[in-house]
Amino acid sequence: MTTAADTPPVLIDGLQYCNWSREIFLEMRKGGLTAIHATVGYHEGFRETVRHLVDWRTRFRDNEDLILLARDSGDIERARATNRTAIFLGLQNPMPIEDDIGLIEMLFDLGIRFMQLTYNNQSLLGCGWMEEEDSGVTRMGREAIAEMNRLGMIIDLSHAGQRTALETIALSQRPVVISHANPRWLRDSNRNVPKAVLRALRERQGMLGLSLYPLHLPNGSDTTLNQFGNMAAEASEIMGAEHLGIGSDLCQNQPDSVVRWMREGRWTREMQAAASFPPRPSWFGSNLDFSRLSEGLLSAGFGKAETSLVLGGAWHRFIKASLPFGS
């Protein structure tokens, strides 16, 4: 008979963009990952995105003993019952909807459950963090927010400018997420999140996924596990552990050429910066290391219950509320 003590913990990573392979899916299982949110694309249009979704269907078919396509919270339970990892699919850029509001529903029907309103630049929906002036949510952005709310597609503000983020949080009738970012006051980067946005996110029952990408961490690649725990503790002072998770931004086995695609797409001919992945911190190189994060959290004063929330419980709760069974 299975007891509560025998039930494995819920471990959820709110953002990964790996060079997907059976090796990585095996590591997810060995690492005990219950679910992840996987990026499907960045600057691709609708047709290219559908091609990526076709590739994902092939992965699900070829690795059905390890992973399954997750459409709602019930698929998390199905994955747990069959010792697999549930994979929610998402977009880090609204480029795939082009200028057609109807494509949001088409992508939702094809399995997309998360979408960022912006990446680094101004989009048709809002402003990315790298623009000099943040003009906020656009006319189409308001329509997109309402449509995503209607469908249950989760709004992600990880790369949004501050004004766009605050306006979206206020406009959305459903809680939104920042799937992979850290407190800005601990790493002086506009890619991270200021207190004003975190407070607004918490007030509207949103989620923050702490990023493990070196450029977002307080001491870059040299950030220690204890420093990660201290960063989580500071974020928790605003968000509370019940609204705090992990969005590792793991890009395992991706070639450096992918960095340039992320940053530059096709919108420029100029190289923006050195295009290579920074070294990952020594304590997080793959999904095999996910449970190790508990060491950093416990060292920073998190209790066992709070640690369980940050490592997956909070994401599980959020997904159950946002994507209930049968949605």
CA atoms within 13 A on the CB side of 25: 20
- What averages of pLDDT result for each successive group of 10 residues across the chain (327 residues)? 64 97 98 98 96 98 98 97 98 97 98 97 96 96 98 97 98 98 89 96 98 95 97 97 98 89 82 80 97 97 98 98 88
What are the pLDDT digits (tens) for 252-304? Answer: 999 988 888 888 888 888 776 667 889 999 999 999 999 999 999 999 999 99
For 151, which DSSP code? H
Question: What 3-state DSSP class applies to 307?
Answer: helix
Instruction: Give the domain 9-322 fold.
Output: TIM Barrel (3.20.20)
Number of H helices, E strands in the chain: 12, 9
Query: In sequence order, what E strands does the chain have?
Result: 12-16, 35-41, 67-69, 85-91, 112-116, 154-156, 177-178, 207-210, 244-246
* 310 and 232 Cβ atoms separated by less than 8 Å: yes
User: Among candidates 40, 30, 36, 41, which has minimal Cα distance to 15?
Assistant: 36
Task: Return d(Cα 155, Cα 28) in angstroms, integer.
Answer: 25
Q: Which two tokens stand for residue 89?
A: 């699919």
pLDDT of residue 3: 46
For 280, which DSSP code? P
N residues, the chain? 327
Domain boundaries, the chain: 9-322
pLDDT of residue 6: 59
Please state the pTM of the whole predicted model.
0.95
For 311, which DSSP code? I
pLDDT of residue 287: 98
pLDDT of residue 2: 46
Query: CB-based burial of residue 314 (10 Å sphere; 0-12 exposed, 13-18 middle, 19+ buried)?
Result: buried
pLDDT of residue 5: 52
Q: Which two tokens stand for residue 256?
A: 């450096």
Task: Return d(Cα 327, Cα 74) in angstroms, integer.
Answer: 9
- The distance from CA 45 to its chain's CA centroid, rounded to whole angstroms, is 20
For 58, which DSSP code? H
Q: Which two tokens stand for residue 316?
A: 């599980």
Task: Return d(Cα 89, Cα 105) in angstroms, integer.
Answer: 14
